[in-house]
């Protein structure tokens, strides 16, 4: 209470007729009242305010200028009515009703919900012939917990009633078949078993522990969670069941519960087969009539799958973040490679003398540029921005064909073993990306076995059922399982949970990029499968992944030769729209070599004007991403509106753009003249498809 309030309160006591000791006791009384959480106010018979404590101001939000000795009780009532403390209604009626109740000077208790949601318990006690004392207690949390417990009890009661009705109906049907002499005895025997059945059937872990933290009851689910039978858990303490390590983690929560507070916490434990399982527990204390805690009810829920989903989401977010970075870099590299490949190809064709010697320099450069393009494609697959080209692939044959390549990639001290199915087993997968993944895993195995060892590749058919589907996050169905195992030094257990994260490497510093396993992970997930790694230091590593099983492909039908369209052999005027000057120059030269006259636009705004003004344009080739607010998408829509018959070929360095334009073919960078010619030839046919 502020100093002024103290002074005002003290002035209500006569300053004569009392000793210094009495005065000190009075001051101590006031100080003690200020330490109470309950608001207290004393009114005389008028009634007017005589004394109060700090909690009175805090709980009721009265202005300090209002709270003084002699303030009429009616002023407080009117202030509350005007600010809506008593709900809707006419102010004077509310004031009159409360003043009439106060002047009766009768003991009373009521609860009031304030506009801010707080619940106050109000108790009035008369002081005969002198006045009365009012106490205000904040019981908001108490009422909230009571409502929570009541809701839980109601829900449990409803479930019990529903289950009881089912059992009663079943018992009624059985009664006609049972002998009459067994009816009463059977009903009595079933009484306890029914309750046990109900508790065991609830999909939750339920238990009760006494004041000594010793189990008095546990349903079947609770006992099985700890690998015990229900009868084995009763009588044990929480520490004995949980183990000392986990008990230390939850001990603070249990202490709060046994202090009378309902608590919620999470914990994890390892099962006998090495799995880590997670649970969320709610502990509600049982409080006796004397206020002592008699025990606690425990309601737990298995949240293992929820934790796995959260971990998968975090991994997906990491992959998405790196994928966005990779996609942007890939776009710029694809533009650069388009320029490099186009110039090298032109240089190769223009060299007049000693073409064989020039080829020694130009051909390797072209090969390196194409390998760079393939690397970008693999990075985009890793980031899940590259469109895969899946088909039905016979996995056993693919692995068998890779054996010679793997043998050349590994040291002579490493033995390669393959366990392949006798029957043909097909999976829906991009074969080139699968080969890259297997080669990547083989290289990792080689580095883990510097002294030699065994690399084994096993292919089997695998069915994923509903329970496993929830854990692996892939649909129920048939899959092809591929295991790549080695006898190397294994992976550090601390690093194992992070091996699929980008830039995390299992190799020595400087010996790996940290992208190999991440790229394999991205490819497998994008293909509709899942992957996991088991590794024991000193005993080797097993990488297992599954891919969707596919039906054998239909026999290929050789199409009849189709005459080459005249479009790729030269044609009408081409509008070339590209903001990169070097790429524009390369494309202009390539189109010229293919026999096309070209006009150029450096942005979409100029291109729209040309489409309007130049009627001779017979074909438009446009980049997808351009500055100025008008890109390939907007330009395509404009051309379709103004000149619906105008053929349009879009070019892009972003792998994901192809699927965004179903009504126009998309040529992905980098490409050379032959790729451009093929795209133009496909554009001239009515059933054209987007070139790869």
Q: Higher confidence at residue 298 or residue 182?
A: 298
In angstroms, rounded to a whole number, what is the distance separating the alpha carbons of residues 194 and 211? 27
Q: Are strands 205-210 and 276-287 parallel, antiparallel or unpaired?
A: unpaired
How do residues 89-135 score in pLDDT, each as one tens digit?
888 888 888 888 888 778 888 888 888 888 888 888 888 878 888 88
Q: Are strands 617-623 and 648-652 parallel, antiparallel or unpaired?
A: parallel
Dihedral of CA 97/99/105/109: which sign?
positive
pLDDT confidence of residue 321? 61
Q: Which of 3-17, 266-280, 381-395, 527-541 has the lowest mean pLDDT?
A: 3-17
pLDDT confidence of residue 114? 85
**How many CB atoms within 10 Å of residue 649?**
21
Q: Higher confidence at residue 579 or residue 370?
A: 579
pLDDT confidence of residue 688? 43
Predicted confidence band of residue 371 (pLDDT cuts 50, 70, 90): low
How do residues 553-589 score in pLDDT, each as one tens digit?
877 554 444 444 434 445 689 999 988 888 888 888 8
Packed helices 91-103 and 73-82: angle between N→C axes, nearest 10 degrees: 150
In angstroms, rounded to a whole number, what is the distance separating the alpha carbons of residues 371 and 683? 27
Q: Higher confidence at residue 655 or residue 402?
A: 402
pLDDT confidence of residue 9? 44
* Alpha carbons within 13 A on the beta-carbon side of 596: 30
How do residues 239-292 score in pLDDT, each as one tens digit?
999 988 999 999 999 999 999 999 999 988 888 877 788 889 999 999 988 889
CB of 616 closer than 8 Å to CB of 605: no
Q: Which of 189-203, 274-288, 336-350 has the lowest mean pLDDT?
A: 336-350
pLDDT confidence of residue 542? 93
pLDDT tops 50 at residue 178: yes
Q: Quick one: tokens of 118?
A: 């707080």
**How many CB atoms within 10 Å of residue 533?**
19
Q: Which of 124-138, 291-305, 459-473, 675-689 has the lowest mean pLDDT?
A: 675-689
List b or e across 39-50, with b for residues whose CB sees 16 or more CB atoms inside 10 angstroms.
bbbbbbeebbbb
List b or e across 130-141, with b for residues whose CB sees 16 or more CB atoms inside 10 angstroms.
ebbbbbbbbeee
pLDDT confidence of residue 478? 94
Q: Which of 110-114, 346-350, 643-647 has the lowest mean pLDDT?
A: 346-350
pLDDT confidence of residue 560? 45
Q: Which of 12-16, 624-628, 663-667, 673-677 has the lowest mean pLDDT?
A: 12-16
How do residues 251-262 score in pLDDT, each as one tens digit?
999 999 999 999
Strand partners, 612: none
pLDDT tops 90 at residue 547: yes
pLDDT confidence of residue 372? 63
Q: Higher confidence at residue 462 or residue 323?
A: 462
First to last CA, the chain: 80
In angstroms, rounded to a whole number, what is the distance separating the alpha carbons of residues 429 and 549? 9
Mean per-residue pLDDT of the chain:
79
pLDDT tops 90 at residue 231: no
- Determine what percent of the chain is predicted with pLDDT higher than 90: 17
pLDDT confidence of residue 598? 92
How do residues 420-456 score in pLDDT, each as one tens digit?
998 999 999 988 888 888 888 888 888 888 888 999 9
pTM reported for the whole predicted model: 0.38
Q: Which residues, 6+ apart, have CB-to-CB distance to 627 below 8 Å? A: 579, 603
Across the range 496-519, mean pLDDT stands at 57
């Amino acid at each position: 209470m502020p100093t002024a309030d103290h002074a005002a309160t003290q002035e209500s006591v006569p300053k004569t007729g009392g000793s210094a000791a009495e005065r000190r006791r009075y001051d101590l009384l006031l100080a003690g009242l200020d330490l109470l959480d309950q608001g207290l106010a004393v009114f005389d018979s008028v009634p007017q305010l005589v004394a109060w404590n700090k909690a009175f101001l805090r709980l009721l939000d009265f202005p300090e200028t209002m709270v003084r000795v002699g303030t009429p009780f009616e002023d407080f009532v009117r202030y509350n009515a005007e600010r809506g403390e008593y709900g809707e209604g006419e102010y004077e009626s509310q004031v009159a009703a409360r003043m009439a109740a106060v002047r009766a000077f009768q003991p009373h208790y009521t609860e009031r919900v304030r506009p801010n949601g707080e619940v106050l318990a109000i108790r009035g006690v008369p002081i005969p012939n002198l006045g009365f004392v009012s106490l205000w207690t904040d019981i908001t949390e108490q009422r909230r917990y009571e409502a929570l417990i009541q809701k839980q009890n109601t829900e449990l009661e409803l479930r019990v009633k529903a289950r009881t009705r089912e059992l009663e109906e079943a018992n009624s049907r059985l009664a006609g078949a049972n002998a009459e002499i067994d009816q009463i005895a059977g009903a009595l025997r079933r009484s306890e078993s029914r309750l046990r059945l109900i508790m065991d059937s609830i999909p939750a872990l339920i238990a009760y522990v006494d004041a000594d933290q010793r189990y008095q009851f546990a349903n079947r689910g609770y006992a099985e969670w700890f690998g015990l039978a229900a009868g084995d858990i009763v009588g044990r303490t929480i520490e004995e069941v949980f183990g000392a390590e986990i008990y230390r983690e939850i001990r603070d929560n249990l202490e709060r519960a046994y202090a009378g507070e309902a608590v919620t916490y999470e914990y994890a434990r390892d099962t006998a087969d090495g799995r880590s399982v997670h649970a969320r527990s709610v502990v509600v204390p049982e409080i006796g009539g004397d206020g002592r805690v008699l025990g606690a009810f425990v309601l737990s829920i298995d949240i293992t799958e929820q934790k796995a989903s959260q971990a998968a989401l975090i991994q997906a977010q990491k992959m998405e973040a790196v994928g966005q970075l990779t996609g942007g870099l890939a776009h710029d590299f694809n533009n650069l490679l388009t320029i490099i490949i186009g110039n090298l190809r032109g240089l190769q064709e223009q060299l007049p003398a000693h073409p064989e010697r020039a080829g020694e320099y130009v051909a390797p450069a072209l090969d390196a540029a194409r390998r760079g393009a393939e690397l970008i494609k693999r990075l985009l697959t890793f980031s899940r921005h590259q469109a895969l080209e899946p088909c039905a692939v016979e996995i056993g044959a693919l692995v068998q064909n890779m054996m010679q390549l793997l043998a050349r990639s590994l040291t002579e001290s490493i033995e390669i073993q393959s366990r392949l199915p006798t029957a043909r087993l097909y999976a829906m997968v991009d074969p080139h990306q699968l080969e890259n993944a297997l080669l990547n895993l083989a290289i990792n195995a080689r580095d883990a076995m510097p002294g030699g060892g065994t690399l084994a590749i096993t292919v089997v058919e695998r069915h994923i059922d509903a329970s496993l589907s929830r854990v692996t996050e892939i649909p129920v169905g048939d899959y092809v399982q591929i295991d790549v195992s080695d006898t190397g030094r294994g992976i550090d257990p601390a690093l194992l949970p992070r091996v699929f994260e980008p830039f995390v490497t299992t190799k020595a510093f400087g010996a790996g990029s940290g992208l190999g396993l991440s790229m394999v992970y991205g490819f497998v997930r994008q293909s509709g499968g899942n992957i996991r790694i088991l590794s024991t230091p000193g005993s080797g590593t097993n990488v297992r992944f599954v891919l969707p099983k596919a039906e054998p492909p239909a026999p290929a039908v050789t199409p009849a030769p189709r005459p080459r369209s005249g479009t790729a052999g030269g044609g009408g005027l081409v509008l070339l729209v590209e903001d990169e000057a070097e790429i524009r120059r390369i494309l202009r030269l390539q189109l010229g070599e293919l026999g096309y006259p070209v006009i150029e636009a450096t942005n979409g705004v100029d291109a729209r004007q040309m489409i309007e003004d130049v009627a001779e344009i017979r074909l438009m080739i446009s980049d997808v991403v351009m500055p100025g607010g008008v890109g390939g998408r907007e330009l395509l829509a404009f051309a379709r509106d103004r000149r619906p018959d105008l053929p349009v070929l879009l070019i892009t360095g972003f792998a994901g753009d192809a699927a965004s334009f179903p009504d126009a073919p998309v040529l992905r960078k980098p490409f050379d003249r032959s790729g451009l010619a093929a795209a133009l030839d496909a554009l001239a046919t009515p059933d054209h498809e987007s070139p790869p």
